[in-house]
């Protein structure tokens, strides 16, 4: 069976620590796949905010909408873990870009990779409800 392969970049421009809450844990007693997507969303919001952007920006008309997502799970996460989520942008196109994520934790002084992921982000004008070109200033900020 073919598996998804995500080619992560070597350098990540942003890191955030996110503690795992009890509601992130599923019946398997580990972090659920839906929680991983939610954790990525929080990391993405914080990353964009660090650059002065928001996913939903009706004033500047530089909103973003997620077009696709791919994740590979590498290890289990548990309640009490603190995930380090590294985020960076790449694969720029005329209307958007990809965001790459590497989620890790440290347990018993050992680094553990939890998941690797990528989201395809499209520039979207929420006022007109249409895709738009990636603004040059946004691309420049994301390329740092």
Q: How many angstroms separate the CA atoms of 132 and 91, rounded?
A: 17
Q: How many angstroms separate the CA atoms of 14 and 46, rounded?
A: 9
From the CB of residue 139, how many other CB atoms can be counted at a distance below 10 Å? 17
Over residues 85-98, mean pLDDT: 98
Closest CA to 10 of 105, 100, 126: 100
pLDDT of residue 126: 87
Q: What is the pTM of this model?
A: 0.94
**pLDDT over 70, % of the chain:** 98
Query: Could you tell me the pLDDT band of residue 60, with boundaries at 50, 70 and 90?
Result: low
Q: Evaluate if residue 59 carries a pLDDT over 80.
A: no
pLDDT, averaged across the chain: 94
Over residues 21-42, mean pLDDT: 96
pLDDT of residue 76: 96
Q: How many angstroms separate the CA atoms of 48 and 7, rounded?
A: 22
Instruction: Report the DSSP pairing between strands 14-19 and 63-73.
Output: unpaired
Q: Evaluate if residue 83 carries a pLDDT over 70.
A: yes
């Amino acid at each position: 069976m073919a598996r998804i392969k995500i080619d992560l970049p070597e350098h990540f421009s942003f890191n955030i620590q996110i503690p795992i809450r009890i509601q992130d844990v599923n019946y398997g007693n580990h972090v659920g796949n839906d929680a991983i997507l939610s954790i990525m969303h929080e990391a993405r919001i914080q990353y964009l905010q660090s650059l002065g952007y928001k996913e939903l920006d009706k004033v500047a008309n530089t909103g973003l909408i997620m077009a696709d997502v791919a994740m590979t799970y590498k290890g289990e996460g548990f309640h009490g873990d603190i995930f380090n989520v590294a985020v960076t942008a790449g694969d720029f196109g005329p209307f958007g870009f990809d965001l790459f994520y590497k989620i890790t934790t440290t347990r018993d002084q050992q680094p553990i990779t939890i998941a690797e992921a990528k989201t395809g982000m499209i520039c979207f004008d929420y006022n007109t409800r249409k895709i738009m070109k990636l603004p040059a200033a946004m691309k420049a900020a994301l390329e740092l």
